[in-house]
Structures are given as structure tokens and as C-alpha cells.
Structure 1
Amino acid sequence: MMKWKKLFFGLLFINLSALTLVLFLLFQPAKTPSVNVEEAKGNAKEAQGAELIIHTTKQHLNTIINDYVKQKMKTGSLSYEIQLADQVYIKSQIPVFEKEMDLTVTFIPNVTEQGNIELSNPTISLGQLKLPVQYVLKYMQKNASLPDWVKVDPKNERVYVLLNEVNIKKGYNVRAERFDLEKDEIVFKVIATIK
């Protein structure tokens, strides 16, 4: 009988000691290195033109793009999704004779000198039927809920993703450096233009 009492009180003592130690550690101030705040902020003039290079993959960019599209899509507009594979695919469904038909637009992406992305050489199909490019791009321009920085140019059969107009935060610009879908090498540069 006495043996279990000793074990019980021994276990109780160990638990109370552990709890006391945990509470003691919780209420201790965090150990952080001392930092000179002005030094950490840095000189604003030195920060101007600072660059951050972002490497990503098609899979990650697909997730980001389509999440953005879902958040920004206006009700009643043409819904679509974008897929980066060997080319850029824009997929949608449009009503034809009271039936939803698959609309697929493919583009070849190129990085412009300004760091924007030009989508060129489009092919457009409704189901298996090839459609005239200019007509469908006009339809997209009119009915798709596109961000202000995406410009459709039906006349020249191009779509431009104007990254230099993307507003991520005041004083920061984005530009594409590389957009090679075959090698899955996608590189962007974020530039601080703080004045």
C-alpha cells in the first residue's frame, strides 16, 4: 500500500516541477539581439532601386493567378481560368444553343523589353472548332472580367500583361525577367522605387 503512495507523490512532484518550469520560461522576456533601429531601417536613398528576384514554377504561378482571378471576377462576366503548361491556356465555357461549350485560347508568352508579358500567336477553339482570333479577342475584351493591367489587342491578335502597371504597393514595381514555360523557369524582379 505504501509503495503506490510514494509513486503517486513522486509523479505529482515531477508534474508540478515541470509545470513550474514551463510557467517560469513562458513569463521570461524573449532574448533578442539588440538592434540599432536607424541602422535596421537603412538609408532610404540606398534602398531606392533595391531589387528582389523571385523564381517560381508554373504550378505555383497557376495557383496564384487563378486565386487572383476568382477574387477579382465580377458577377455576370465571362468566367475563366488560366493554365500555364507548354503554352498559356485560357479556358472558359460559353453558352451556345442553351448548352455550355468549352472555349480554349492558347498563347505563346514573351517578355518585352519593359518587363511586361506579351501573349502572342493565339489559337482559339470552341470544342474542336477553330474560331477567328480577332472575333474572340473582341468578345474577351468586352465580356471577360480582366484586371486593368491586362490589355487585349484584337487588331494585332495580342494580349499584354502590363506588369509595370501592377499595383503591389506604392514605391514598388514588378517586371518579368524570364518566362520560359518549356524549362519551367519563371523569374520576376520586384524593384523598390521609393523617393
Structure 2
Amino acid sequence: MNNKSKESLLKIKWQEINGWKVAFILLATILIGASLVVMTRLTQERENFSELIEQQPVLTGEPLLAIRSQKAQINKIVAIYLEDLQKEAKKEEQNYQFVLKNEALISGEFDLLGFPLRFYLYLDPFVMDDGNVQLKAKSLSVGALNLPITQVLRMIAKTPELPKWIEVKPKEETIVLRLDQFEIGNGLYLKAEKINLVEDEIEFSLYLAETSTSTKKSEE
């Protein structure tokens, strides 16, 4: 074998070795990259729970003030609140009324084939463990019509000016008043303690909310 044939043979073998090296490096890179992508997807949080927790008020310690009220006082406050809400929505008439009697009553109007119909939805209030208030629907009156409660609750839920702290659950036939999302001002929040409409006893506690970040700073 002459020198030229030897050089060409070595050149071919060297090219084959380099080709295998390149292929191996590419394969290893692909495998490593795929592993990193899978690990990133597995460890990635769908939601930033730390930020969500910080957004929720933390009501701890002793309340600043214990508030005892009656149905007549609550009705006046709610009427003023709804009136202001309707003004912000730029509507001349108030669509809904909320009154406490021996049970909670929501009254409102809706159009059926061009005719206004008024409904009366009766609910029982319950104080939840977190200090929020649940209104459980018990009966509905719409003139001579027999409409399901879920249908009326769906209509209420679609109200554009409905505040975010009022959560309507048509399937469960309940309305939740999320007092922990209703800020009075200056970081003050309410927690319901007792609601007894028959005995006319309504009690709330006033708290100053602390976020987790402010709590950490005070501890440091």
C-alpha cells in the first residue's frame, strides 16, 4: 500500500470518528436539554402562591372593636351602600334591595317579554368559620310564575355592578358575603361573629389586616 492510499484511509477513519463524536454530542445535548425542560415543567408553579397569600388579609390577634347592631341599623347602611353603588353604575333606578327581617330578603326586577316583573328571594344567613356570611336561598316569589331559584341567582350573578366581594353560587343556591375581601378603609376589615335575626342580635368584629410581608418585617 502506497503512502497516498494510507493517508486517504486514515483520513476516512478520522472523519468517521469525528462523525460519531459529533452525533454523540448532539444526542447527549438533546437528552440533557429535554431532561431540563421536563424538570422545569415539573417544578414550575402554575400560580405564584406566595403572592396570592400576600394579597389576602390576615386577621389575627384581638379585634380592635366589637360591634353590636340590629336589623334596622344594618338595613339603613345597606340601603345607602346600594344607592351609592347604583349611582356609580349610572343607573337612575335601584335594581336590587336587600332587607333583613326574620330572614334576609333580596328584591329586584327583570324584564320578561318587555314586562317588568319583581321577584322576592328569601334567604337564611349563616356565619361561616372564617367570619364570612353565607346566605342560603330558601324560597322565591315571582308573581304567579314558578321560576327556579338557580335561574334568578344566575341573573343576579351576571349583574355588571355586582361587587367582587359578593360571591353568587347558583348551583349551590347560596350567596357568600366575602367580608375578608371588603376593605372598609385604612386596612380595616369586618368579621361576622353572630347573626340571629329572630332575636335581632347581629355582632361583628373590626380587625386591622396584616399582610404576610408586614408580619415578616415586624418580626425582623
Length-normalised TM-score, structure 2? 0.62
Out of 77, 85, 91, the position equivalent to 1:64 is 77
Out of 97, 101, 111, the position equivalent to 1:81 is 97
Out of 55, 75, 80, the position equivalent to 2:68 is 55
In structure 2, what is the equivalent of residue 106 of structure 1?
A: 122
Give structure 1 stretches of 5+ with no counterpart. Answer: 1-47
**2:157 paired with 1:141:** yes
Q: Distance in 2 between matches of 1:127 and 1:54?
A: 38
Out of 156, 178, 191, the position equivalent to 1:175 is 191
Q: Given residue 119 of structure 1, which amino acid in structure 2 is its aligned partner?
A: L
Q: Deviation of residue 102 (structure 1)?
A: 1.4
**2:134 paired with 1:121:** no
If you compute each CA radius of gyration, which structure gives the higher value, 1 or 2?
Answer: 2
Q: Distance in 1 between matches of 2:63 and 2:199?
A: 28
Q: Given residue 75 of structure 1, which amino acid in structure 2 is its aligned partner?
A: K
Runs of 4+ in 1 over 4 A off after TM superposition: none
Q: Distance in 1 between matches of 2:155 and 2:209?
A: 37
Say whether the 8 Å CA contact 2:64–2:206 is kept in structure 1. yes
Q: How many residues of Structure 1 are paired with residues of Structure 2 in the alignment?
A: 148
Give structure 2 stretches of 5+ with no counterpart. Answer: 1-60, 215-220
Task: Report matched runs for 1:9-28 at 5 Å.
Answer: none
Higher normalized strand content (fraction of residues): 1
The 3 A distance-change label for structure 1 pair 78 and 66 is closer
Q: Distance in 2 between matches of 1:78 and 1:64?
A: 15
The 3 A distance-change label for structure 1 pair 178 and 128 is farther
The 3 A distance-change label for structure 1 pair 116 and 93 is same
RMSD (Å), alpha carbons:
2.0
Q: Deviation of residue 135 (structure 1)?
A: 1.3
Length-normalised TM-score, structure 1? 0.69
Question: Secondary structure, in 3 states, of the residue corresponding to 1:71?
Answer: helix
Higher normalized helix content (fraction of residues): 2
